[in-house]
Chain A
Amino acid sequence: MTTETRNPQRQDETLNSIGIKKPRIDGILKLTGGADYAADRNLPNQTYGYPVTSTIASGELTGLDLEEALNMPGVLDIFHHDNFDRLSRSPNDFAAENKVGEPRLPFEDNTIYYQGQYIAFVVADTFEHARAASRKVRAHYRKNDEQLTDIATLDSGEGELPGEDVPGDASSIGDADTAYAGAAVKLDQRYSIAQENHSVMEMHASVAHWENDRLTIYESSQGVVFQRNALSNIFGMPLEKVTVISHFIGSGFGSKLFMWPHAVMTAVAARRLGRPVKTVLTRQQEYLNTGYRPKSLQRVRIGADQSGKLLSLHHDGCNETSPAGLHDDTVSASSMKMYHCENVSATNHLVTVNKCAPTSMRAPGEASGNFALETALDELAIQLEMDPLELRRRNFAETDLSVQLPWSSNHLKECWDNAASRFGWDKRNPTPGAMKDGDEIVGYGMATQSWEAMRQHCGARVGFRDDGTLLVACGTQDIGTGTYTIAAQTASERTGIPVEMIDVRLGDSSLPAGPLSGGSMATATVLPAVSAAVREAVEKLKELATAEGGPLENAESDSIEIKDGRLVSGDRSIEVAELLRQNRVGMIDGEAHTAPGDEKNQYSFRSWGAVFVEVRWDPGISRLRVARVVSTIDAGRIINPLTARNQIEGGIVMGLGMAMFEETEYDPHGYPYNNNLADYIVPVNADMPQVEVELLNHPDYLLNEFGARGLGEIGLTGVAAAVSNAVYNATGKRIRDMPVSIEKLLSA
């Protein structure tokens, strides 16, 4: 473990590679088709798997007629409950880094828990043969009369939310009940967010291949180490015999954090057939088998005084979970930290539905919880006849009361001011419907954005090569966010070697273990590890350089610096590559493992932001459009303004989807109605408003030496609330259930 210094008073160093607008170093590969995604992998003698899925939502699989399918051309085998390997479940433990998407193993029992559940797996010599045969599998079921796919049907609309309390999920400070009872101004409202699916561009895919007793699996994964660990548990194999490779990912948004059952089916089939198996899920299968943001119901109660000071806050959540795998979205948890309120209570309930396991989806929990809280605050401001921004200012959290810790760094006030002035918030007319423009009514709304800042342990290896290039390797992955690029920038910063000469290797579980690409923590986690690995390697270089007869013979190790790829001591210097060549050494490497330290117990780490939205409502044709979004983000030091802005803009677009369109629908019989991109509506280019993002750049040195936090999720938070608040300002209609659809606007 390498030690690091963290110091808030630290002087900003002059940085050369970090903080510059560096286009993605893998961009050319992506543009030219050189990026090898999982489904692009073709191995000799490869076969193709195609899952057969349940057409009922709840019941039992009583039989499978396979004969016709087995006799179809090219079919090699069909796997199902009666002939599948007996495996062990993964312990499914996040801390042990073996969490999976759905702990239930494929075909584990004959119970049907949800529509789309895998009931058989056909393997054939071509994809088309496997698909054609899959349609000839005849399944017999005993169907249950009842199934549950919408938790809203259980909600009475008042009082407690449905579902079971999750032990350990409730948190509180002060006495929210008493404070609420005594408050002069009260609000008690319910909110909901529809189920959303990740709708990733690149389909989920596995290509599994066994060589003797070693398994290699190419997967579109946001966590190669987690998947490696899970597979090793499931197959009872030592870690070093499993390798998971994921060089490029065409977005994941959380659906690829944890392994799904198709990977296990693929690996089993490859072992049994002694041939590689490739499985690429269809869009329909993916909508039903790779997780989703669960629908959540929420209740917010606020007690305040006439000046708008928050006296009491209750935030209760309830989200869907699955019999095939528990998922707690903890939608209310962030409300413990958002504002200064001494009496807060947050709870979460779960309801089991007939769907596959839900999972994390970009800003899990917080995006949903933020919507309820930030909409409730807008409602409170209206009740108080106060500007909604002013209400928030009056309740700024100077410290994190929930854990009694100071913030490591918090520039929320600057975010509010900066975004409000760029947006022109002062021109807002608070009276609903008062701002008109031709056929349209203009509405303004705002919300606070927030996401926790985290850091994990991480390993990295670097190697100085005698051709002047530098290898950087880490067992994390780049999910399209720019991790390759910022790893190169970091190594460049610490060595002076240009980014173009740095060869970054990620997405391979056999590299030093790196973090999941999720939770907005990869940047804060990976960068210090790369930097520390450089230091390790440089120490070895110094020994070489100062050795007898070496170019820096007798120099004090401390006097030597690495600059522009050269070791420099006073007026002597040597190019690193030259040093290696002189010593006939091909590469000098260094490996380091870094981890967060005690700062976690001394400070509370969060990123902050403010988002302002202008909507346009044309009541004559019930048309709602978002015209403008302005957001200012405080996420510590910005490592690469290009990729950073891109993340925030992408988050905003997803937030617009949540606010306006996205809803995975199940019909009253449990049938998934819109499990495809034609019927599941996401924003398209024509829906893009003018989006103006500003990134404050205040390093948070308490988190790591560069002061970087993460910003993959924060852009999404706040958007749904800002839209719904703007909708109220335009229409006078308060839509508390996302998405805001035409029929809700017509009936409100």
Chain B
Amino acid sequence: MRQFELESVEAIDQAVRHRRVHDGQAFIAGGTTLLDLVKLDVMQPEKVVDVTRLPLKRIELLDDGRLKIGALVSNTELAKHEIVMRDYPVISEALLSGASTGLRNMASTGGNVMQRTRCPYFRDPDMPCNKREPGTGCSAIDGINRNHAVLGTSEQCIATHPSDMCVGMVAAGATLVLEGPDGQREVAFEDYHLLPGDTPEREHDLKPGELITHVILDAPRGGGQHYLKLRDRASYEFALASCAAVVNLDGDNIGEARLALGGVATKPWRADAAEAALKGQPATQESFERAAEAAFSDAVAYSHNGFKITLGKQAIVRALRDATARARA
């Protein structure tokens, strides 16, 4: 059996200190990503630090109207929280569309941000994969890539970021609070995950020794919100294409729309071009379709995933339609 050390920490500085001392160390929260990958031999931490006793389980409304979420708040608690359901339905819907009840009960907010791609080649240590073992090649590009990305890809990696929650958070607007050996810092949520480029092994802006302590959601944007997830079966599957839409109307026109995409991109994807195309436009099917075109104008299809471009556009059009209807309601 591969041995590893397990340590439970009670305070944040303890967790952070440990991380610096040991290389090859991982935090464990819900364990729903980590244990899977350890059993598959994809992640091989020598030391596992259990952070579940840290005091990061609260959801707190800040004076400036923002909502501060502890990294250990479970996906279920977050999705069912009164303020989230009322002011951030796009996040609640995104969470509830993910995984299963049992997994959501275990999964933490921080762990969800940090979950790894579901690319099957990544998950099989016998296969070449630049993300797992830089320089070995990408098996997906000329293998099967039906579940892979069409936006933000590189010649080194085309894996999607699988999270639903993160897509909701990009649309709602959020900031990550990180605590490290050198103190605390904040990163805009949409800048946190990185494009694969030539370093697909670098997935996020978390420095060695740092822990995600909180996600702070922007003050509610109001308007109509909707998260739409498209996939083969009705539940318990990652998105083939998903769209988080937050629409504020200005009369019959769109004032501000925020759009984020999942299942089609290498990171939780802010569809800026689509947002720009919507601004000030009438809230009609034609406008939605133009926005969808804009969102995918740079998309690159691989041998099996061309349909995701169509599906992604459809997700945008329908999510906008339904979010707009809610904005009017």
Contacts and interface: CB of A to CB of B under 8 A. Distances in A.
Interface of A: 55, 73-74, 126, 128-129, 131-132, 135, 620-623, 625, 660-661, 665, 667-669, 671, 673-674, 676, 678-679, 681, 683-687, 741-743, 746-747
Contacts of A135: 41, 125
A665 B144 contact: yes
Contacts of A667: 139, 143-144
Contacts of B318: 620-621
Nearest to A683: B233
B230 A746 contact: no
A665 B143 CA distance: 11
Contact of A742 (B125, B142, B311): B311
B143 A687 contact: no
A622 B120 contact: no
Interface in B75-125: 118, 120, 125
Given A132-B2, A622-B311, A742-B240, A686 B143 contact: no
B228 A621 contact: yes
Given A667-B144, A674-B120, A747-B307, 8 more contacts: A74-B1, A135-B41, A661-B232, A669-B143, A687-B233, A742-B307, A743-B146, A743-B307
B139 A128 contact: no
A671 B314 contact: no
A132 B1 contact: yes
Nearest to B230: A621
Contacts of A132: 1-2
18 contacts: A55-B126, A74-B1, A129-B1, A135-B125, A620-B318, A621-B314, A622-B310, A665-B144, A667-B143, A671-B127, A673-B120, A673-B143, A681-B233, A684-B233, A684-B235, A684-B236, A685-B235, A742-B232
B236 A73 contact: no
B41 A620 contact: no
A669 B121 CA distance: 13
A669 B314 CA distance: 33
Interface in B248-271: none
A interface, by DSSP: helix, strand, loop or mixed?
loop
Contacts of A671: 127, 139, 143
B237 interface: yes
A82 to B, nearest CB: 23
A34 B237 CA distance: 33
Contact of B232 (A74, A678, A681, A685): A681
A512 to B, nearest CB: 43
B1 A679 contact: no
B151 interface: no
A668 B41 CA distance: 25
B234 interface: yes
Nearest to B306: A743
B139 to A, nearest CB: 7
A746 to B, nearest CB: 5
A684 B233 CA distance: 8
Interface in B185-230: 228, 230
B315 interface: yes
B120 A679 contact: yes
A621 B315 contact: yes
Given A620-B314, A621-B230, A671-B143, A678 B235 contact: no
A199 B311 CA distance: 29
Contacts of A746: 307, 310-311
B317 interface: yes
B232 A741 contact: yes
A55 B139 CA distance: 14
Contacts of B125: 135
Contacts of A686: 233-236
A671 B144 CA distance: 9
Nearest to B243: A621
A696 to B, nearest CB: 32
A681 B237 contact: yes
B90 to A, nearest CB: 17
Contacts of B126: 55
Nearest to B2: A132
Contacts of B311: 621-622, 742, 746
Interface in B54-84: none
B235 A660 contact: no
Contacts of B2: 128, 132
B307 A668 contact: no
Contacts of B233: 660-661, 681, 683-684, 686-687
Contacts of B144: 665, 667, 673
Contacts of A747: 307
B120 A625 contact: no
Nearest to A747: B307
B118 A678 contact: yes
Contacts of B228: 621
A193 B146 CA distance: 19
Nearest to B1: A128
Interface string B290-329: 0000000000000010110011001101100000000000
3 closest residue pairs by CB, A with B:
A128-B1, A686-B235, A686-B234
Contact of B1 (A126, A623, A678, A685): A126
A671 B304 CA distance: 15
Contact of B235 (A74, A665, A687, A742): A687
B262 to A, nearest CB: 14
A120 to B, nearest CB: 14
A183 to B, nearest CB: 38
A620 B304 CA distance: 21
Contacts of A681: 232-233, 237
Nearest to A53: B126
A671 B41 CA distance: 18
A134 to B, nearest CB: 10
Nearest to A656: B233
B232 to A, nearest CB: 5
Nearest to A124: B1
Contacts of A660: 232-233
